[in-house]
Structure formats: C-alpha cells, structure tokens
Chain A
Amino acid sequence: MSLSDTPHARHIPDRLASPLSRALKRWEVLLFLVAAAIFVINSFASPYFLDPWSLSDATYNFTEKAMIGFAMALLIIAGEIDLSVASIMALTSTAMGFAVTLGAGTPELVAIGIVVGLACGAFNGMLVAGMGLPSIVVTIGTMSLFRGISYIVLGDKAYNGYPASFAYFGQGYVWWVFSFELALFAVAALVFGVLLHRTNFGRAIYVIGNNPVAALFSGIRVARVKFILFLLTGVMSGIASICLTSRLGSTRPSIALGTELEAVTMVVLGGVNILGGSGTIPGVVLAALVMGLVTFGFGLLNVPGIVMSIFIGLLLIGVIALPRLWARARRRR
C-alpha cells in the first residue's frame, strides 16, 4: 500500500449519505424498481396482463424455483453450491410415483417427498461437509446420479394415477386467486428470511462465506452448518418436487430438467455474491418476481422464449458487471 492511499482511506465525509441515496444504492431497491417498471410496461403492452387469474397462473413459473432458490441462497452465501437440485426433484418425484403404484395415499406421498429430498441432501452434505470435497464437483456428480436412478427406474415410461387429493399442492387455491404454491412461497420466504437475517445460524452462514477459517477459529462448527444447509436444500427440492409433480399429475425422468440453473440464476440476480459472503432473501424474492413477470409478459406478447433467455442472460451479466464497473468509476473519481 502506497502512502498516497492513506489519506483517502481516512477520508471522513462532511455529511453522512442521506437515507434515500443510501437506499437507492441497495440492490434490492433497484430490483424493486425494475420489477415495478416491468409490471407497468406489461400492463400497457398487453390488455390481458392485469387479470387476477392470469397473474395467478403466472406465479407458477417461479414459485417452485424460488422455494429452491431460498435454500440455494443460503448455500451460496456460505460459499457452497448445489447443482443437483433438479435431479433431487426428479428422484423424489420418481419415488412418489413408485409409491403410488404400491397404493400410497396423499399423506404418505408428502412424507416420501420430504424424506427422499432430505436423504439426497444428506448424501451431498456428507460428501461436501463430511469429507471436505468441493461442492461443485460433488453436486455435478450427484446431478447425474440422482436423475440416472430415475431413468433406470422409469426409462421411457411415466408414473401417473396420483390420488385426486394430491392435486391440491400444485393446483389448489388457499383463498380466491392465491394458490397453495404462492402461499408456500410466501411462508418459505418468511422462514428463510428470519433464519438468515435474524438468527445466530444466519450470522454463522455469512461468516463462513466470508472466511471459513476465521469462522472455524471463532468457534463456529463450519462442517455442521454446511451439512444443515445441504439438508435444507434437499428438503426444499423435495417440497418443490411435490408441488411440481402435483401440478403435472405425472412423473417422467426428464421432470424439472434445467431447474438448477434457473434457481442459481434467480439467486445471483437477487444480489447474492456467487463467491459467497453476501446476499439477502428479499433480494431473491424480488428476483423471482422479476423473472416471473418477464417470462409472463413476453409470453403474452408471444415473444419467442429465446429472447427471454437472452434478456435474463444480459440481466445476469449486468448484475455481475455493474457493481465492479461502479466501483471502478468511483475509484477513478
């Protein structure tokens, strides 16, 4: 560090930044404005947008992914990742479908969904937290493994014949246009928000993400926290799978193909640092809304899906690049 840097580092501003300008610099506020802008543009662009039932239908394109996204956000903040989530969904769905052929009812199916998700998460957690293997490699492996089992069990066949009451999770409504999935999404957001932002466990996640060694020396049981995070991701994938299977009313081994990347996209778009250490649940919620609104808005205008992919891709690159460009510009000033 050169001498010339020192005064800059000690610079004390005359006046503290006003709450408004501080708020505007927050990623969440920016996302909120983007979401609001998309909402307004959509309502002008298509006469069909502002219809409560249509909007309710549209929420399905992000609720399941966001449920996984919340758990994934915690995992990424802690410096790990789980790319096997979509495959956990496939395996969970296959297990439920198999149980149906043995005559399982709705309560058993839900239990199976949660237990299989938990077991997959435990397997990932054991390899990463227990044996210290890199999570990206482990979960790329289990991504093939879990879906591979589904393919072996099902081949080109499908399970259907789910009980009628099972359809509630993916097709039922709690009140008026508010679907069960939307309610579950809200509850999950609340639970994960409190867990991350209001508990010691949440603080531990940030510390681990910023410096795992320091976390270890300050008495945080790093491996245990990581293991629990993998369990959580597994359970949320299981729950998302229950919803998706219920919504589709059938299981094929290709179910939820590609969901892992959409969940990671949502998390990163929500302002979670892909290298770990920072990010918020409200950010992920807003990112889910942005992605949902863009998908639905483009759908209403019959814009080909590839344009949507390009848009999300650019948004993602923007998310990563903007803060760095911003920081560089400020340093130069």
Chain B
Amino acid sequence: MSNWKTLLTSAAVATAVFANVAHADTKRIAVVVKALGIGFFDAVDKGAEEAAKQLGDVQIIYTGPTKTTAEGQIDVINALIAQKVDAIAISANDKDALVPVLKKAMDRGITVISFDSGVAPAGREMQLNASSTELIGKMLIKMAADSMPDGGKVAVLSASATATNQNAWIDAMKASMSAYPNIKLDEVAYGDDMADKSYREAQALMQKYPNLKAIIAPTTVGIQAAAQAVEDAKMVGKINVTGLGLPSEMAGHVHTGASQGFAIWNPIDLGYAATMIADELMTKKAEAKPGAVLDMGRMGKVTLDANGEGAMADPFFYNAKNVDEFAKIF
C-alpha cells in the first residue's frame, strides 16, 4: 500500500514539476557553445545555471555541435529558432558565417548575444568579452609586482612577434607600468608558442639577467615552459613565473612554487554574466546600444562601446588556494 502511495505522490510531484517547467512564464535561454565536451564550456554552463537559479523563471538549454564548425552551429540555431526560445547566447566558431542565421533569429523576436568568441555586430545585440586588452595588461604587471615588493627586473616571454593578441596585451602592460616605477622591463622574448623554443628562450633570459625577479608569459604555452625552465634551473623562489595560463596545466607549477599565481578568464563568471545580460535584454529591462550600462548581477555592471562590446572583468587570479578546484574544469 505504502508503495502505491509513494508512487502516486511521486507521480503527482513529477506532474507538478513538469507543469512548472512548461509554465508560460518560464523563459528559455539557449547557451550555444563551440562544441560539446569542452571543459571550459561545461564551466560556462555551470555559471549559466547559477544565474538561472538566481533569476528563478529562466531555463537554460546548453547545446552545441559535436565539431567546432559554423555549419554545425547553424543547424543547432535553426532548431532553437524552431523551438522559439527567448534568447540565444553564443560563442561562435566563425564570426561572419553565423550572421545570416542569427539575423533570422533576431527577426523572429529572439534576443541574441555573443560571449567569449564574438559574432560580427550585424548578427548580435551585444558581445561580452571575458576581459579587455587594457585590463589584461594591468593584471599582467600587477601579478608580477605583487611578488616583488622591492622592485627589480622582469622579462616577458611571448608567443610569436606577430601575434596580435599578445602584442596588444604587452603594449597595454607597458602603458600601465608607470604605476610601478621600481620595476624595469628588460626584454621581450618570443617562444613562438612552441614548448621547446619557449623553454630555451626562458633559459636564455635567466642566463642573460641573473637578477631577474619575474618572467611574465601572456601565453598558455609560454607560461608552462617558463615554469618548467625555472624548476629545472633550481631558481624556484628567486624567479616568479606569471602570466596567462590554464589551471589544469599550471596546477603542478603553482604547487612547486615556480609560479605564485597566474590569470585567465573565469568561465563560470562568464556564463553567469552572459545569462544575466541575456535575461535583461529579452525582458526589455535594458536595450543594447552603444554606451548602455548592463547589469551582470554579482559581476557588477558592463558598459558597451561603439561596437556593442563590453568587457566583463579583470582576468581571474589563480593561486595555490583555488587552482586545484579549477584544474578539474579546464
């Protein structure tokens, strides 16, 4: 008897839950990623779910193609348009190829924003960058400065000399160095984003500048190679390796002490902020136009520039305290 009762109760609960989900007030936000099965994007989904919980009346559809192709994302978006979702937040495989289909989505009343890897302005209402060139530049020098209160010499180990992103970040870093008068940048070396070349360049930097206090590598390949070189040269404690790296690759080097900390965007925050913005735009609480200030909940506010782009926050700082938790994610 009691079994029957349990069954009936759970059936009733299930019906209620189902009815609740299907309730007309529930808004659906689709988070479309480059491809499923990527840890970084699974973390984005985690953040989106957190935002949905906070908003209450929002359901997240986390989806994407199996391969990182624009064609695959178009099929996914067509299916989302057919389902009449309320908003789409996408990290694009191709900033141009998705414009026609996303335009169609907007024509049919769907709010479209892009995050992480953006879409050309014609295909979205706004683009949320995880950070900005300026913020990254500031963060790079700050991380090095924090580890050397007495000042001293630092060197940069970059990717290739023609890498657009890295050059912009290094220029931004140089621009904010005036705040640290006792820190001197000796050299910018290039490891071409190859592990072996980066390793040799890091060794050369240590030999050339015996008093070097920090190596700043704004590339995930370079930071790893430099940390390895510092460990192999027994310079841990004398030289701090910092820059932009992935928690899963850097956790070991943080624990040896070769790196006292490094930065990269936080995918959970990014998913959270993107969802908050999508909700705000689809409920018409705000409009995405140049100069608009959008609310990102616990992440603060973002101001859109002339291209409808906004930067979420400083790159997130990872050190011995939190690196293991994120190493599991990406």
Instruction: Name A's B-contacting residues (CB within 8 A).
Output: 46, 48-49, 51, 53-54, 57-58, 60-61, 158, 160, 167, 170-171, 244, 247-250, 252, 254-258, 295-296, 299-300, 302, 304-306, 308-309
Contacts and interface: CB of A to CB of B under 8 A. Distances in A.
Contact of A48 (B36, B37, B66, B83): B83
B61 to A, nearest CB: 5
Interface string B68-108: 01111011101111111000000000111101100010000
Contacts of B66: 304-306, 308-309
11 contacts: A48-B83, A48-B84, A57-B78, A61-B78, A170-B100, A244-B71, A249-B97, A254-B69, A299-B75, A305-B36, A305-B65
Contacts of A57: 78, 81-82, 104
A312 B272 CA distance: 35
A54 B82 contact: yes
B82 A51 contact: yes
A98 to B, nearest CB: 16
B67 interface: yes
A143 B80 CA distance: 33
Interface centre among B61, B64, B76, B100 (most CB of A within 10 A): B100
Contact of A258 (B69, B76, B78, B82): B69
A112 B242 CA distance: 51
Contacts of B96: 158, 160, 248-250, 252
Contacts of B70: 248, 252, 254-255
Given A257-B69, A295-B75, A171 B84 contact: no
A256 B70 CA distance: 9
Interface centre among A160, A249, A258 (most CB of B within 10 A): A249
B133 interface: no
Contacts, number: 96
B75 A302 contact: no
B63 interface: yes
Interface centre among B61, B63, B80, B83 (most CB of A within 10 A): B83
A257 B93 CA distance: 12
Contacts of B37: 306
Contacts of B36: 304-306
Contacts of B97: 158, 248-250, 252, 255
B81 A54 contact: yes
A248 B100 contact: yes
Contacts of A255: 70-71, 97
Nearest to B64: A305
Name the prevailing secondary structure of the A interface residues. Answer: helix
A247 B37 CA distance: 27
Contact of B100 (A48, A171, A258, A300): A171
B64 A58 contact: no
Interface in B231-280: none
A295 B77 CA distance: 12
A308 B67 CA distance: 12
Closest 7 CB pairs of A and B: A299-B79, A54-B82, A250-B96, A248-B97, A305-B66, A57-B78, A48-B82
Contacts of B100: 167, 170-171, 247-249
B25 to A, nearest CB: 17
A299 B104 CA distance: 17
Contacts of B67: 257-258
Contact of A158 (B69, B75, B94): B94
A168 to B, nearest CB: 12
B272 to A, nearest CB: 21
A169 to B, nearest CB: 12
A54 B84 CA distance: 10
Contacts of A249: 96-97, 99-100
Nearest to A53: B82
Contacts of A60: 74-75, 78
Nearest to A262: B71
A261 to B, nearest CB: 11
Contact of B71 (A158, A160, A256): A256
B8 to A, nearest CB: 26
Nearest to B164: A156
B160 to A, nearest CB: 13
A121 B276 CA distance: 51
A19 B306 CA distance: 70
Contact of A61 (B64, B69, B75, B99): B75
A313 B37 CA distance: 19
Contacts of A309: 66
Contacts of B76: 299, 305
A116 B67 CA distance: 27
A48 B82 CA distance: 6
A253 B270 CA distance: 29
Given A249-B96, A300-B83, 17 more contacts: A53-B82, A54-B78, A57-B78, A57-B81, A57-B104, A160-B96, A248-B94, A252-B70, A255-B97, A257-B67, A296-B75, A296-B79, A296-B82, A299-B80, A299-B82, A300-B79, A309-B66
A207 B184 CA distance: 79
Contacts of B69: 254, 257-258
A247 B96 CA distance: 11
